[in-house]
Structure 1
Amino acid sequence: MANATVEDLHPDLIAGVLRLLDGPTLAALSCANVRFRSLAGEPDLWRDLCLSSWPSLGHPRLLRLLASSHRSFFADVFSSPVCTVAESACSGDGESSLPSELISAVDLRHRGSVVLSLVVETDTSTSWFMAAPFRIDADVERKDEGDSAVFSPEELTLTWVVIDPHRRRAVRATSLRPVSVSRHWITGEMVVRFALVLGEECAIGAVVKIGEETRKVQEIYLAAEGVEGACLSGREGLAVVRSAMEGGRRQGDESDAKRRWEEFAGRRQKMKETAAKRERLVDLACAAVGAAAFVALFTIAVAR
């Protein structure tokens, strides 16, 4: 057995080793040769990998939906969508091809331990959803109080996976780590934002609110917004989600997501400052016109 290779090992032993690998390593191994391609392509292997990465996939409907497609699901979700959403996507063009339903698989962790794991099913075909601001709320109230305690917002990680059950496509709609942590100036809640910037005009992400005293998750929701600061409508948000699902993927650094968000927020702040400056100029012009009119009327009255 001096010349024995890894291929001479018993298939059960190799299968046990493969279960210790992460997704990218497993996918790379499947390219080695025909035997490894067969072993690394076992559906149960990818199902277990998906369930360990995203516990919310244990929901009965998702188990049925992804019964034979866990590998393609992993490929869709593991990497971030390429940030090339066109401006036309933010305008909600092509309404007939928008998802009529979305399933959200939400997994919030603190230092690797699961804080919240739940599934949200959303009917997106109604006129109310299309016209209202794009927002999907996760019902944290139905979770046990002990499950939602957190300690350090900066050490939270979130995966909010949006699934189109009819086209069987999915996309990770948030950054893995927070792009910003702030405190609400009225309620004192900690506001933790996870976001992806898609193109130059749109951003989509989740907001997690944590109670000041309880240190428990009070609220978590997914929303989409434009660079000018306004929330996108349901129609526009669905167009962005569809574009992200159909676009490419890349395995990016989480610091890149934070950098892109800071640049996006900076552009938004600059636009607000420009708009405020324009308003001040308009106010000054109106005041000048009013003062000139008053002086003119006063002069006429004195001349008489």
Structure 2
Amino acid sequence: MNFDHSPATISSIHPDILQDNILTRLDGSDLASTGCASSNLYNLSCDESLWRKLCRQTWPSTADPRVQSLIAGFPSGHRSFYSDSFPTLRNRPNTHPPCPNTDPPQSLISAIDVFYKGELILSKVNETETGPELSWFLCSPFRVDLLDPFETYQIPSVKFSKQENKCLTELGSGLTVSWILIDPINKRAANLSTSTAVSVHRHWLTGEVQLRFATILTGGDGEPVMCGVVVSCGGKEAGEVYVKEVNLMLEDVDGRTLSGEDSLVILENAMERREKKRINSMEEKEEYREYQRMKKERREIKQKREKTVDMVCIFICVSLFVAGLYLWTMR
């Protein structure tokens, strides 16, 4: 009796078993790596349904019909969208020259998901009109507000307190945000939120907890710009905690909120010349601290310059007064 003792290969496994029982259990990075192993695995791993399911599991907001319609126009559908949106955008200062000027998009689509310890808290899609005919948008400070004034979403198993730090610790370690910005014209996307909050503090007046998720981008002059997602949480003392506000804005190193026109240029440049790599939460916070350090130094230089100008003005005024007094006494 003859037995075939040749080693089993991946090709001996039925494609349906590979696709339904193995590839569906992989995350995006592993699925992309698996496709590099062989031509057979590449064909299986490129299946659109796999990447559609993976996108919806990672970002539930992508199930929205508007987002689905946009993703269908990407070069490789959901696979291209996942590649653009994962991991989060990293565009380090002074590493790229500015991109050539392109026509700004008529709108930007935001797909936002907020989780607490892996549980979905809210999932929304926001459309921001940005056309050149909207002069008020181009000149006004750039800000995208996700929620209506009285719209709130409860965060389970957390109790609100204006005094104790337990609430801050729990929210800081458990709350995560994904803010994917989509350019519907050029079919590009980028995730603008860090994996964890880079800062957690209380608002000095309301006592609400504010969490900042910040990505450092490159400004048109090569200087760093902070793209910040701020989540505000509030509630009644010893009561449930609610997400009350989620917004996105861009700020330069001088602390000024950038205009819509300047923000569009920076965001388009970041999506075009993105540098993406995995970094842990400590590195994200270190990038944010470095930006804050530069911001503090810039503020101190500005204060010293203003102080010097004030001293010169005082000296000139005093000199003129003394000279006038001298001339008056010489009459």
Asked if structure 2 preserves the Cα contact closer than 8 Å seen for 1:76 and 1:249, the reply is no
Aligned residues: 301
CA distance in 1, matches of 2:153, 2:81: 31
CA RMSD of aligned residues (A): 2.4
Which of 228, 233, 239 is matched with 2:259 structurally? 233
CA distance in 2, matches of 1:5, 1:244: 43
CA distance in 2, matches of 1:241, 1:53: 23
CA distance in 2, matches of 1:137, 1:144: 13
Shift of 1:79: 2.2
Shift of 1:144: 6.2
**What secondary structure does 1:215 align onto?**
strand
Which of 183, 198, 202 is matched with 2:225 structurally? 202
Which of 109, 126, 142 is matched with 2:115 structurally? 109
**What secondary structure does 1:97 align onto?**
coil
**What secondary structure does 1:115 align onto?**
strand
Asked if structure 1 preserves the Cα contact closer than 8 Å seen for 2:155 and 2:241, the reply is no
Any unmatched runs of 5+ in structure 2? 159-166
**What secondary structure does 1:185 align onto?**
coil
Residue 78 of structure 2 is aligned to residue 70 of structure 1: yes
**What secondary structure does 2:328 align onto?**
helix
Q: 1:300 to 1:146 in 2, by over 3 A?
A: closer
- 1:90-119 per-residue CA deviation (whole Å, 9 max, x = no partner) reads xx983x522211110001111111111111
Shift of 1:276: 1.0
- 1:154-195 per-residue CA deviation (whole Å, 9 max, x = no partner) reads 121111000012221101112121111122212222221111
Any unmatched runs of 5+ in structure 1? none
Q: 1:127 to 1:149 in 2, by over 3 A?
A: farther
Shift of 1:209: 1.1
Q: What amino acid maps onto 1:6 in structure 2? A: I
Identical-residue share of aligned pairs (%): 35
Residue 98 of structure 2 is aligned to residue 100 of structure 1: no
Q: What amino acid maps onto 1:48 in structure 2? A: K
Q: How does 1:162-241 map to 2 (within 5 A)?
A: 162-199=181-218, 200-211=223-234, 213=236, 215-241=241-267
CA distance in 2, matches of 1:204, 1:116: 21
Give the match for residue 281 of structure 1. 308
Q: 1:105 to 1:240 in 2, by over 3 A?
A: same
Which structure shows the bigger proportion of residues in helix conformation? 1
Give the match for residue 162 of structure 2. none
Shift of 1:41: 0.8
Q: 1:198 to 1:144 in 2, by over 3 A?
A: closer
Shift of 1:147: 6.1
Which of 151, 161, 180 is matched with 2:180 structurally? 161
Give the match for residue 164 of structure 2. none
Shift of 1:140: 5.4
Q: 1:36 to 1:141 in 2, by over 3 A?
A: farther
| Worse-superposed segment, 291-300 or 65-74 | 291-300
